[in-house]
């Protein structure tokens, strides 16, 4: 192992919260997208899981494999316009806002490109 290595698998990371988060909230800070493991106030460290899948409310209809976006208020949506990529829908879902299984992009280059 390299002496300067910090994360072996980069499954989770502690980031400085850009706003208040509750455990289970979707998080997108810069080009990193994940789910808050812990609650944190803005300016505190929040542990963000970057892998796995989570049942998170999403607005709009989804198909399996469709990109899910996060809006400025931190909620997930099927609408791309004006929003940033967050993850991918694991299951299909009808219209309206309801929990859907979503896998966050984590540190995927797709997220980094959209953040630029």
Please report which confidence band the pLDDT of residue 67 belongs to, taking 50, 70 and 90 as the band edges.
very high
Kindly report the pTM of this predicted structure: 0.86
Of 14, 24, 113, nearest to 67 by C-alpha is 113
- Statement: residue 2 has pLDDT above 90: no
The DSSP H or E segment spanning 85 is strand 84-89
Q: 2 in a domain, yes or no?
A: no
Residue 46 lies in a domain: yes
Q: What is the pLDDT of residue 113?
A: 58
In a domain, 7, yes or no: no
Number of structural domains (the chain) is 1
- Does residue 101 lie in a domain region? yes
Domain containing 60: what range? 12-115
């Amino acid at each position: 192992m390299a002496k300067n290595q910090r994360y072996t698998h980069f499954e989770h990371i502690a980031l400085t919260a850009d706003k208040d988060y509750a455990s289970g909230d979707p998080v997108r800070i810069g080009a990193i997208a994940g789910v808050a493991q812990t609650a944190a106030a803005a300016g505190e460290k929040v542990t963000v899981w970057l892998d796995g899948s989570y049942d998170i409310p999403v607005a709009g209809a989804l198909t399996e494999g469709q990109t899910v976006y996060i809006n400025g208020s931190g909620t997930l949506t099927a609408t791309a316009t004006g929003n940033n990529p967050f993850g991918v829908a694991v299951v299909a879902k009808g219209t309206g806002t309801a929990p859907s299984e979503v896998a966050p992009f984590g540190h995927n280059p797709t997220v980094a490109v959209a953040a630029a």
